[in-house]
């Protein structure tokens, strides 16, 4: 047994079915009643005396990214029972990117609340969280962090890639690539329908380094999955073995009371940030990591993250920053291969759900072999971390750019603003043949931030205006207070904070203003004087969006800005004052 665990692994007095009794004013009666009901489902006293492992199950007909949930559940329950535990599956909200309106991000905090409260309310000694699609993993980790029990993250795994006319394709970088070609009339209606059949070749999460793959890698880097838990595709035997092993580890964590606060430490978050930069991961992960750290009373320091990025190259050659797909990463050894290259930059003392440290797990991993998906540290695919943090009078609270997926020619750029006031304005005018726009202009989209278009949609990668797309223009500098999909690419500045809807400077940008981006200087400037901006503000003050009732009201009244993780303020505990990374 690991030296890092408490010697006393006896179950606490209130464990298993005795935990969290329903309030009837008589504890004996409460337990008697609970057992009577569960016995109605055929359980014996012997089964009910075992450590109870809750399974937060997110299988849903509306979520094909979790389409392997039945097989995962079977393997996971096998692992729990072989280790002497009692699996208890329960449903929570499930979110798929394409089946959640207005956006899955709007519902992430609701899913986190659902997860937290059901883990807290029901008797269990540990929980296994089955998640995969973009917002599910952060929601579950946020909820589990607040609930405080031992927890293990079981990733559903990536989809397989398909083939269109002998070209390998996968969601969703290729979805965007083909759609852009269709808009440019380079692909006809028949071909776009054919490629639609091939982009998603099986159940599972998007096959590139989008948000789902990023959060899978981050979960393993945090120590929240079993070793090798990030990369196996959804429909493989390796994925089922990960599920069985997750069951065994959950029972062990329950017996050893290895609570989540011992895993989600500042060192674990620093490791996750290194991995995010080195995999060319999704910009969304910064928001999610900030929210997850916030649940532990920790603050992500964006400036320090940027400094970290300057010494952390992109090593993973996966779309959209590189060429390969998740299944190739798995064949290349998955996270063990990547973490080995990053070893000098990692905190190897960080504890994982196995009860062993990251360093111990790396030592125990299969030996390295020759492969071409994870580059050596000295020969990266991009010399710096994938994400740079920008500041300037247009984004006093910061903004970010995924530099590894941007056009080098636009990284130092000054141009004329072409402004869209909101998503509706964009939809109405972007394809207008009379739109006054040139290839060297800067497209600005307002009011798609956390409050402006509740849920901060992934609309930041604005499409090329039709008339420019047909001239062959593939990229322009684009700026917004929204997010973009991890599968997207281009020179796109995101998460401008504060957002336009709460009166950030973005609200006052006008057509024809000059905007300057300098990624080398980390600068995002609106070349308009402070006096002029103040005058514009006074002439048309911003009225923040509001709602009469329901979840929308809760959301609008409590959601924080991007630099705070877009969490609900009332779900975040008092800060410990500790900032990560802790760069001295």
Question: Toward ligand FES, which CB reaches closer, 65 or 418?
Answer: 65
To the nearest whole angstrom, how small is the minimum distance from the Cβ of residue 107 to ligand FES? 14
Question: Toward ligand FES, which CB reaches closer, 155 or 423?
Answer: 155
**In terms of residues, how long is the chain?**
584
Could you list the beta-strand ranges (E) of 278-329: 298-300
Which of 112, 131, 132 minimizes the C-alpha distance to 55? 131
Report phi then psi at 3, rounded to 5: -70, -15
| Strands 52-57, 86-91: pairing kind | parallel
Give CA–CA dist 358/353, Å, rounded: 10
Question: Toward ligand FES, which CB reaches closer, 457 or 505?
Answer: 457
To the nearest whole angstrom, how small is the minimum distance from the Cβ of residue 211 to ligand FES? 7
To the nearest whole angstrom, how small is the minimum distance from the Cβ of residue 215 to ligand FES? 9
Question: Toward ligand FES, which CB reaches closer, 65 or 218?
Answer: 65
Q: How many CB atoms lie within 10 A of CB 29?
A: 12
Q: Which residues pair with 412 in a beta bridge?
A: 518
- Interaction site with ligand FES (CB under 6 A): 65, 96-98, 133-134, 171-172, 205-206, 210, 212
Which of 562, 517, 271, 534 minimizes the C-alpha distance to 390? 517
To the nearest whole angstrom, how small is the minimum distance from the Cβ of residue 96 to ligand FES? 6
Give CA–CA dist 247/241, Å, rounded: 10
Question: Toward ligand FES, which CB reaches closer, 172 or 335?
Answer: 172
Question: Toward ligand FES, which CB reaches closer, 132 or 380?
Answer: 132
Cis peptide before 292 (omega within 30 of 0): no
To the nearest whole angstrom, how small is the minimum distance from the Cβ of residue 104 to ligand FES? 8
Give CA–CA dist 449/399, Å, rounded: 12
To the nearest whole angstrom, how small is the minimum distance from the Cβ of residue 235 to ligand FES? 15
Q: Is 340 helix (H, G, I), strand (E, B) or coil?
A: helix
C-alpha triplet 79, 82, 85: angle, nearest 5°: 85
Question: Toward ligand FES, which CB reaches closer, 156 or 312?
Answer: 156
Give CA–CA dist 283/277, Å, rounded: 10
To the nearest whole angstrom, how small is the minimum distance from the Cβ of residue 290 to ligand FES? 20
To the nearest whole angstrom, how small is the minimum distance from the Cβ of residue 133 to ligand FES? 3
Question: Toward ligand FES, which CB reaches closer, 178 or 568?
Answer: 178
Question: Toward ligand FES, which CB reaches closer, 65 or 477?
Answer: 65
Can you give the C-alpha Rg of the chain in angstroms? 24
Question: Toward ligand FES, which CB reaches closer, 160 or 528?
Answer: 160
To the nearest whole angstrom, how small is the minimum distance from the Cβ of residue 313 to ligand FES? 26
Q: Are 321 and 314 in contact (CB under 8 A)?
A: yes
Q: Which residues pair with 524 in a beta bridge?
A: 517
Question: Toward ligand FES, which CB reaches closer, 66 or 267?
Answer: 66
Q: Are 52 and 16 in contact (CB under 8 A)?
A: yes
Q: Is 205 helix (H, G, I), strand (E, B) or coil?
A: strand
Q: Are 434 and 535 in contact (CB under 8 A)?
A: no
To the nearest whole angstrom, how small is the minimum distance from the Cβ of residue 456 to ligand FES? 17
Give CA–CA dist 136/64, Å, rounded: 13
Which positions ≥6 away from 52 have C-beta within 8 Å?
15, 16, 17, 19, 85, 86, 88, 123, 124, 125, 254
**Residue appearing with tokens 């020619």:** 409
Q: Could you say which DSSP state residue 474 is in? A: -
To the nearest whole angstrom, how small is the minimum distance from the Cβ of residue 156 to ligand FES? 9
Question: Toward ligand FES, which CB reaches closer, 141 or 268?
Answer: 141
What's the start-to-end Cα distance of the chain, in Å? 35
**Residue appearing with tokens 């505990």:** 573
To the nearest whole angstrom, how small is the minimum distance from the Cβ of residue 66 to ligand FES? 8
């Amino acid at each position: 047994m690991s030296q890092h665990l408490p010697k006393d692994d006896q179950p606490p007095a209130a464990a298993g079915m005795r935990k969290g009794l329903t309030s009837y004013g008589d504890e004996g009666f409460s337990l008697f009643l609970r057992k009577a009901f569960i016995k109605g489902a055929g359980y014996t006293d012997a089964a009910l005396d075992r450590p109870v492992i809750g399974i937060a199950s997110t299988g849903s007909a509306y979520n094909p990214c979790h389409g392997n949930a039945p097989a995962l559940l079977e393997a996971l329950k096998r692992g729990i029972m072989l280790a002497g535990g009692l699996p208890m599956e329960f449903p929570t909200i499930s979110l798929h990117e394409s089946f959640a309106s207005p956006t899955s991000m709007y519902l992430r905090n609701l899913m986190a609340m659902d997860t937290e409260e059901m883990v807290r309310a029901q008797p269990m000694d540990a929980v296994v969280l089955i998640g995969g699609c973009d917002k599910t993993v952060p929601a579950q980790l946020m909820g589990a962090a607040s609930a405080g029990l031992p927890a293990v993250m079981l990733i559903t795994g990536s989809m397989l890639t398909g083939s269109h006319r002998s070209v390998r394709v996968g969601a969703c970088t290729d979805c965007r690539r083909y759609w852009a070609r269709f808009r440019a009339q380079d692909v006809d209606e028949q071909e776009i329908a054919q490629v639609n059949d091939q982009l998603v070749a099986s159940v599972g999460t998007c096959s590139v380094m989008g948000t789902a793959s990023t959060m899978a890698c981050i979960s393993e880097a945090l120590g929240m999955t079993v070793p090798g838990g990030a990369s196996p595709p959804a429909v493989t035997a390796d994925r089922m073995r990960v599920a069985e092993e997750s069951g065994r580890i959950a029972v062990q964590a329950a017996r050893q009371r290895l609570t989540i606060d011992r895993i989600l430490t500042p060192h674990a978050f620093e490791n996750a940030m290194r991995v995010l930069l080195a995999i060319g991961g999704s910009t969304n992960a910064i928001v999610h990591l900030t929210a997850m750290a916030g649940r532990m009373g920790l603050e992500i320091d964006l400036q320090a993250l940027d400094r970290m990025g300057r010494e952390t190259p992109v090593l993973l050659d996966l779309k959209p920053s590189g060429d390969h797909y998740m299944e190739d990463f798995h064949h290349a050894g998955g996270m063990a291969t990547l973490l080995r290259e990053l070893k000098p930059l990692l905190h190897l003392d960080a504890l994982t759900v196995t009860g062993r440290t990251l360093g111990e797990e790396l030592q125990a991993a299969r030996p390295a072999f020759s492969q071409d998906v994870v580059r050596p540290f000295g020969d990266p695919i991009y010399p710096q971390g994938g994400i740079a943090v920008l500041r300037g009078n247009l984004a006093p609270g910061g903004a970010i750019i995924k530099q590894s997926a941007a056009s080098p020619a636009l990284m130092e750029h000054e141009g004329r603003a072409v402004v869209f006031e909101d998503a509706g304005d964009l939809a109405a005018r972007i394809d207008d043949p009379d739109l006054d726009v040139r290839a060297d202009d800067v497209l600005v989209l307002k009011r798609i931030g956390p409050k402006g278009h509740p849920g901060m949609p992934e609309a930041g990668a604005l499409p090329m205006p039709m008339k420019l797309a047909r001239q062959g223009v593939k990229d322009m500098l684009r700026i917004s207070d929204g997010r973009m999909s991890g599968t997207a690419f281009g020179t796109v500045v995101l998460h401008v904070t504060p957002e336009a809807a709460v009166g950030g400077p973005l609200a006052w940008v006008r057509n024809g203003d000059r905007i300057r981006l300098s990624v080398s200087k980390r600068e995002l400037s609106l070349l308009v004087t402070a006096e002029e901006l103040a005058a514009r503000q006074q002439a048309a003050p911003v009225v923040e969006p509001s709602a009469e009732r329901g979840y929308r009201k809760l959301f609008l009244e409590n959601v924080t800005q991007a630099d705070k993780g877009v969490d609900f303020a009332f779900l975040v505990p008092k800060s410990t004052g500790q900032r990560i990374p802790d760069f001295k």
